[in-house]
Structure formats: C-alpha cells, structure tokens
Amino acid sequence: MSVKALRSTFGPNCHWCGLPMDFDEPHGRPESATIEHLLDATMGGMRQPKHRRLAHAVCNHTRNQLRLKAEREFEEWLATRRASAGKP
C-alpha cells in the first residue's frame, strides 16, 4: 500500500500527533509523511497492509528513539534487580 493509497484511506493527518503531514516531494523532511508499520519486527515481523498508517517522519523517528530508550532503561533496571537479588 503506497503513501497515496494510505492517504486516501486514512486522510492527510499523522497517525500519532493528528497534525497534517507534508506530502510534497522530495521526502526526507521531518514533516514528511512516512509509512508506519504498527506491527513491526517486535511482533514477529508481520507486515500486512492493514497495519500500515501514515505518520510524520519526525513522529516515527521519535517514537522509535523513545522505545529504544525505554528498552535500555528496562534492561538497566533488570540488571539492578538481578544485582540486588540475594543481598540482605
């Protein structure tokens, strides 16, 4: 499903922030429309057209960065928890 098809199905606004996206060529700007895969590799890599939405490049990027940050923080918390296990 292309950006154009997704736009006609879901409208011109970002899936995440709800603000209008930039559909002008060339792509690559922060406000450009990008295809968001709602089921990504963490969900078994199922990439089906029905799970695609449009989102700003900057929203897509920030979401990915914050998810990675959260995963790192969780790993650190787990390490702390394991390190403190068995201590009085």
Q: Using CB under 5 A, pick the residue from 5, 17, 46, 68 that binds Zn ion.
A: 17
Distance of closest approach, residue 86 Cβ to Zn ion, in angstroms: 46
The Cα 56–Cα 76 span in angstroms is 30
The Cα 22–Cα 29 span in angstroms is 8
Peptide bond into 88 cis (omega under 30): no
Tell me which stretch binds Zn ion (CB under 5 A): 5-13, 22-30, 51-59, 66-74.
51-59
Q: Which residue is nearest to Zn ion (CB)?
A: 14
Q: Using CB under 5 A, pick the residue from 14, 33, 54, 57 that binds Zn ion.
A: 14
Q: Which amino acid is located at 1 in the chain?
A: M
The Cα 81–Cα 75 span in angstroms is 10
Does the footprint of Zn ion cover residue 57 (CB under 5 A)?
Answer: no
Does the footprint of Zn ion cover residue 66 (CB under 5 A)?
Answer: no
DSSP, res 29: S
User: Site residues (CB under 5 A) for Zn ion?
Assistant: 14, 16-17, 56, 59
